[in-house]
Amino acid sequence: MELLIANESHFKYAEIICDTIADSAKTRGTGIAKRTPEYIRKKLENGNAVIALDGTTFAGFCYIEVWGHGKYVANSGLIVHPDYRDRGLAKQIKQRIFDLSGEKFPDAKIFGITTGLAVMKINYELGYKPTTFSELTDDPEFWKGCQTCKNFDILTRTERKMCLCTAMLYDPKAVSKKKTAEEKEKLNTKAFKRLKSIKESLFLKKK
Ligand SMILES: CC(C)(COP(=O)(O)OP(=O)(O)OC[C@H]1O[C@@H](n2cnc3c(N)ncnc32)[C@H](O)[C@@H]1OP(=O)(O)O)[C@@H](O)C(=O)NCCC(=O)NCCS
C-alpha cells in the first residue's frame, strides 16, 4: 500500500473517489456534502490531497480545504474503499493529510465536522478537541457545502449553531509539543454515542 500526495497523474481516480463517497453515505444513511469529479481533480492538481493505492487499485483518499483566507483548513472527504477498511488505513491517511496541512499552512487552525465515530476517534488522537460551530470558520463557502447534506434543514433551523455533526478543532498554537503514542488520549466513545442519539432525537423529525 502506498500513500501519496496526489497530482495530475491521479485524475483517473476522481470518479471512483466520488462514487465511493456517495455509495458509503447511502449505505450509512447519513448526510454528506456531495463532491464532483471536477472538484476532486482541482484538489489533486493543487497537491492538496492524499491518495492510498494498492498497486493501481484505489484504496483511500482525503483532501485539504482552505477557508477564511488561510486562517482555517479542513481535512475533508475522508474515504476508505470497503475492501480496505478495518486495518488502520484511515488513521494513516488522516495522519498524512494532517502533516501535509501543517507543512503547507503552519498557522492555520485545522477543523472538521463529522457524524462518524471513527473520524472523531482519529481526530481526537491527533490532538483535535470537540468544539462549538461558532469556533469554526464563518466562511460562507464552507457552510454552503452543507447544502447538499440531507440534514441541512437542521443547520438552518438552529441558525448554524448545531447539527448532527460534531465540530472538532486543532489549534497549532494551543498544542505545545507532539504527543507520543503513549500520551495520546482516547476519545470517550460512549459519551459521543450518547450525544449523537440525543441530537438525533431532538432534531430528526419522526416519520
Ligand atoms: C470511516 C472510515 C474512513 C474508516 O476507515 P478504516 O480504514 O476502516 O478506519 P481505521 O481502520 O483506520 O480505524 C480507525 C479507528 O476507527 C475505528 N472505526 C473504524 N470504523 C468504525 C466505525 N464504523 N464505527 C466506529 N469506529 C470505527 C477503528 O476501530 C479504529 O479505532 P481504534 O483506534 O480505537 O482501533 C471508513 O469506514 C469509510 O470510508 N467510511 C465511509 C466514509 C466516511 O464515513 N467518512 C467519514 C466522513 S466524515
What length does the chain have?
A: 207
d(CA 40, CA 65): 11
Averaged pLDDT score across all residues of the chain: 91
Ligand 1 atom at minimum distance from 92 CA: 12
Q: What is the pLDDT of residues 29-51, one digit of tens each?
A: 766 677 899 999 999 999 999 99
In this prediction the pTM is 0.89
d(CA 203, CA 32): 17
Q: What is the pLDDT of residues 130-189, one digit of tens each?
A: 999 999 999 999 999 899 888 999 999 999 999 999 999 999 988 655 666 666 677 888
Asked if 101 contacts 108 with a C-beta cutoff of 8 angstroms, the reply is: yes
CA-proximal residue: ligand 1, atom 12 (nearest): 88
Q: What is the pLDDT of residues 98-117, one digit of tens each?
A: 999 999 999 999 999 998 89
Inform me whether the pLDDT recorded for 190 exceeds 70.
Answer: yes
Ligand 1 atom at minimum distance from 93 CA: 12
Output the pLDDT for position 183.
67
% of the chain at pLDDT higher than 70: 92
Backbone phi and psi for residue 89, each to the nearest 5 degrees, phi listed first: -70, -40
User: Ligand 1 pocket check: which of 16, 18, 24 to mutate, most ligand atoms within 8 Å of Cβ?
Assistant: 24
Backbone phi and psi for residue 131, each to the nearest 5 degrees, phi listed first: -150, 180
Burial of 5 (0-12, 13-18, 19+ CB in 10 A): middle
Q: pLDDT band at residue 191, thresholds of 50, 70 and 90?
A: confident
Q: Residues with Cβ within 6 A of ligand 1?
A: 24, 78-80, 85-91, 114, 116-119, 121-122
